[in-house]
Amino acid sequence: MFKKDLRRWLLAMLSMLVVGSAVVAAEKPNVVILATGGTIAGAGADATNSATYQAAKVPVDKLIAGIPQLKTIAEVRGEQVFQIASESFTNDNLVTLGKRVAALVKQGDVDGVVITHGTDTLEETAYFLNLVVRTDKPIVLVGSMRPGTAMSADGMLNLYNAVSVAASKDARGKGVLVTMNDEINSGRDVSKMVNLRTEAFKSPWGALGMVVEGKNYWFRLPAKRHTNNSEFDIEKIDTLPSVEIAYGSGNASDTAYRAFAAKGAKAIIHAGTGNGSVSSAVVPSLQELRGKGIQIIRSSHVNAGGFVLRNAEQPDDKYDWVVAHDLNPQKARILAAVALSKTQDSKELQRIFWEY
């Protein structure tokens, strides 16, 4: 009798352990990794090649398989959306990726999305998604400055951290994030400030937080409108209008501005010096182009923290121009393209630049 009771007890304990393990497994968050190529999927000829390599070579399944520790923090699956170097990212690529992310975050079995991306235009894609995907679920972009074949490769830890952040409940509602070099930055603010080194991505206003050994530490929150609070929706955007960037400098001419206008640009971002300054040789042409319906948006190419004040340097009210606030030229291009899908009114565009 005693042996039978002991056996029943042992079977009951074993059953509880099995059920308990299943519950723990079921409670692990589900993260989808969308791969688009870039250095994080790159390969060099030798372990010493940290700057000379071919980008977009390694498929997403291999990236995931190379980090078995991912299984301890989330149920992870991958999709290969593109396999390209990010300098070749087009508006059509942005829209395709945005629609896929939006579809995934609507699924009950997806708790977060990670996007592996080349670093050259990672900040542009992050900001685009921040504007057009309506969700409070974490969306995290990640790349690497060195290929996985290099002895100093940073992609493995970057991707582990990105999945950890995407799987975290405390990352919800903070907009699209960029996780690299142990930092968590807002996709709205962050930019690639330096090449060749792993600490390449910085925000002029500071990181939102850090991730250390799978744990998030937050220091500030985004102040601008994003994701769930955005008036834009990727489901209503199928194409983006042409917006071009013309670089201001000493001895600048109007050649680039006129060429972009002739090619059908709906807006031109003036990447000006200092406070978005415009050369006296260029001002008349920009006035003329604005008169033809092309939006003129003054930005600054100051590397970290360029801030353009309205009606400073140029009489924006008089010329009916828009200022980009603190957005760098490439981010201003993204916002202008998204905004122009909704309005052509310059006053509305200026409101949008203040709010986003």
Cα–Cα dist 124/141, whole Å: 11
The amino acid present at 302, given as its one-letter code, is V
pLDDT, tens digit (0-9, with 9 covering 90-100), for 101-152: 999 999 999 999 999 999 999 999 999 999 999 999 999 999 999 999 989 8
Which H or E element spans position 267? strand 267-272
2 burial level (CB within 10 Å; 0-12, 13-18, 19+): exposed
C-alpha separations of 53 from 47, 74, 116 in Å: 10, 31, 17
Q: Considering the chain, what is the average pLDDT of its residues?
A: 93
Residue 22 has pLDDT above 80, yes or no: no
Residue 119 bears catalytic tag:
yes
- In angstroms and rounded to an integer, the radius of gyration of the C-alpha atoms of the chain is 24
C-alpha separations of 8 from 18, 30, 241 in Å: 15, 36, 70
Annotated catalytic residue, options 39, 116, 198, 273: 39
Q: Looking at domain 242-355, does it have CATH number 3.20.20.80?
A: no
Average pLDDT score over residue span 299-304: 89
* Angle 259-261-264 from CA coordinates, rounded to 5°: 115
User: Where do the H-state alpha helices sit in the chain?
Assistant: 2-27, 60-65, 91-105, 122-132, 155-166, 255-262, 283-291, 316-319, 329-340, 346-355
* Angle 339-135-114 from CA coordinates, rounded to 5°: 100
Cα–Cα dist 70/190, whole Å: 25
- The neighbour count for residue 98, using CB atoms within 10 Å, is 21
In the prediction, which pLDDT does 97 show?
98
Average pLDDT score over residue span 79-100: 98
In the prediction, which pLDDT does 2 show?
47
153 burial level (CB within 10 Å; 0-12, 13-18, 19+): buried
Average pLDDT score over residue span 56-85: 96
Percent of the chain with pLDDT over 70: 93
Take residue 271 and report the two structure tokens written for it.
């990447």
Q: Are the C-beta atoms of 209 and 185 separated by less than 8 Å?
A: no
pLDDT, tens digit (0-9, with 9 covering 90-100), for 73-89: 999 999 999 999 999 99
Domain coordinates in residue numbering, the chain: 28-229, 242-355
Is there a common fold for 28-229 and 242-355? yes
pLDDT, tens digit (0-9, with 9 covering 90-100), for 312-353: 999 999 999 999 999 999 999 999 999 999 999 999 999 999
From the centroid of its chain, how far is CA 266?
A: 24
Fold adopted by 28-229:
Rossmann fold (3.40.50)
Annotated catalytic residue, options 36, 116, 119, 149: 119
pLDDT, tens digit (0-9, with 9 covering 90-100), for 210-247: 999 999 999 999 999 999 999 999 999 999 999 999 99
